[in-house]
Amino acid sequence: MLPLSIKKSISVLLSENTHLIRFSSAPSPASKALDPSSPTSNLIAQCLINSCGFSSQKASAVVKHIPRSTLVGNARSVMHFFKHHGGLTETHIRKLISNYPSILNADVDKTLNPNLQTLREMGFGEDELPLLLTSNPPVLVNPLAIPRLDFWQSLIGTVSRKELAFIFSRNRGLISQVIDSSIAPKIILLKSHGIPETEIIRIIKRGQGLISRSLGSIEALLRRVQELGFDVKTPMFGQALSALSGVRMDNVEEKMEFFKGFGWSEEEFLSAVTKAPYLLRIAKDNVVEKMEFLVKEAGCEQSCIASNPLLLMFSLEKRLKPRNLVLQILKSNEIVQIRTLSYIMSLSEKTFLQNIVLRHKEQVPKIHEIYLAACAGKLPI
């Protein structure tokens, strides 16, 4: 049975007839693409290079995915529209066309212009539109785009248009997902595993495209997360789903062997992952750099890092080094009421400033200036 909130959201989708009338649709693209060697392809590729700043290689790649029915004049009109009326930079236009080449086959007057105006009337301005359009270009041509935006707004709750555009930017292709036959069954599946709707919404906000995956893929992912020891009753389960989305099991085993190289046991690695699931996605060179700093300069033991894996998730230049510098200064001034490094690093910026930096400003007058300069990369750390 569909959760009540989802039923209400779907009812919103199905009742938006006024939006369906106003939101013009583009003709269905031809099943076959242009012949890359045809004169039309060459002319459109040249337009992409001259009008939008595409490289010749990228332009050639794009035209391979343009519908055969696309006319040179129409493609040129679309580029002109985005450049002079869409409020997009050349970078935005290149990204939009690269992500959705068939947009060059859309009718400017009947589809693109009225649809863009509808989005603007909905409150999407020049700050939000580039993010929304480049990540989900079909929003400009799909007649169900506006009702689907309304569905997600209803499901997610009160968020600004900027936040909504950001959520869509982290879930490419989400606007093309059919709500009742694709999205609803996935939400039901997640809820059947004990994941509350509030956590499902957080998963969608994090992105990683999890909600756009197939039902079978999500089922397999749920099993993998449970096999790694995550408790479905904790918020960390949802984080693990997002973190493991797109991570193959052999990558997990490879990452385990990598951490064993630092002296970690298998148990320490698995325990660390349950505390910081995104440890599975952090780049190896990033880990090496942070390990070197934490061990050699901050004086951490590997066992301490394994017990507090979030240390590896913090920014080296903007958190680990500046805060360690503050600790060293306080120690050198014999101010010893400082807790563990992991505690200091985990504090919010506001709390760290108030409880650690500003509290000791009388004893170390320049400590605040030094800390801010270190965070800005203006001091050798």
Q: Dihedrals φ, ψ of 198, to 5°?
A: -60, -35
What integer pLDDT is reported at residue 12 of this predicted model? Answer: 46
Q: How far is CA 337 from the centre of its chain?
A: 39
From residue 218, alpha-carbon distances to 9, 173, 187, 188, 323 in Å are: 22, 17, 10, 12, 40
Cα four-point dihedral sign 178, 180, 185, 190: positive
Token reading at 217: 């893929």
User: DSSP assignment of 6-38, as one string?
Assistant: HHHHHHHHHT-HHHHHHS--PPPPPSSBPPTTS
Instruction: Kindly give the residue spans of alpha helices, DSSP state H, lying in 248-315.
Output: 249-260, 266-275, 284-292, 302-307
User: DSSP assignment of 78-123, as one string?
Assistant: HHHHHHHTS---HHHHHHHHHH-GGGGGS-IIIIIHHHHHHHHHTT
What integer pLDDT is reported at residue 19 of this predicted model? Answer: 42
pLDDT band at residue 255 using 50, 70 and 90 as cut-offs:
very high
pLDDT at 99 over 90: yes
Amino acid identity for residue 278 in this structure:
Y
CA distance 224 to 219: 9
pTM of the model: 0.71
From residue 112, alpha-carbon distances to 102, 146, 360 in Å are: 13, 14, 59
pLDDT band at residue 154 using 50, 70 and 90 as cut-offs:
confident
Token reading at 122: 């909905």
- Please count the other Cβ atoms lying within 10 Å of the Cβ belonging to residue 28: 11
Helices (H) and strands (E) in the chain, counts: 22, 0
What integer pLDDT is reported at residue 13 of this predicted model? Answer: 44
Amino acid identity for residue 363 in this structure:
Q
CA distance 282 to 229: 20
pLDDT band at residue 69 using 50, 70 and 90 as cut-offs:
confident
CA distance 212 to 10: 17
What integer pLDDT is reported at residue 7 of this predicted model? Answer: 52
CA distance 62 to 37: 13
Which of 282, 354, 339, 337 minimizes the C-alpha distance to 314? 282
pLDDT digits (tens, 9 = 90+) for 28-68: 444 466 676 788 889 999 999 999 999 999 999 999 999 88
pLDDT digits (tens, 9 = 90+) for 22-39: 445 544 444 466 676 788
Rank 1-10, 75-84, 194-203 by mean pLDDT and report only the highest. Answer: 75-84
CA distance 163 to 294: 35
pLDDT digits (tens, 9 = 90+) for 259-287: 999 999 999 999 999 999 999 999 999 99
Q: How far is CA 119 from the centre of its chain?
A: 22
Q: Which residues, in sequence order, are bridge partners of residue 67?
A: 33
| Alpha carbons within 13 A on the beta-carbon side of 266 | 5
pLDDT band at residue 206 using 50, 70 and 90 as cut-offs:
confident
CB 34 within 8 A of CB 64: yes
pLDDT band at residue 21 using 50, 70 and 90 as cut-offs:
very low
Q: What is the DSSP letter of 171?
A: S
pLDDT at 114 over 70: yes
CB 132 within 8 A of CB 98: no
pLDDT at 328 over 70: yes
What integer pLDDT is reported at residue 33 of this predicted model? Answer: 67
Rank 100-109, 194-203, 339-348 by mean pLDDT and report only the highest. Answer: 100-109
From residue 243, alpha-carbon distances to 141, 160, 172, 278 in Å are: 32, 25, 17, 5
> What percentage of residues in the chain have a pLDDT greater than 90?
52
Assign 3-state DSSP to the chain and report helix, strand, coil percentages, each to 5.
Answer: 70, 0, 30
CB 358 within 8 A of CB 365: no
Token reading at 177: 């997902």
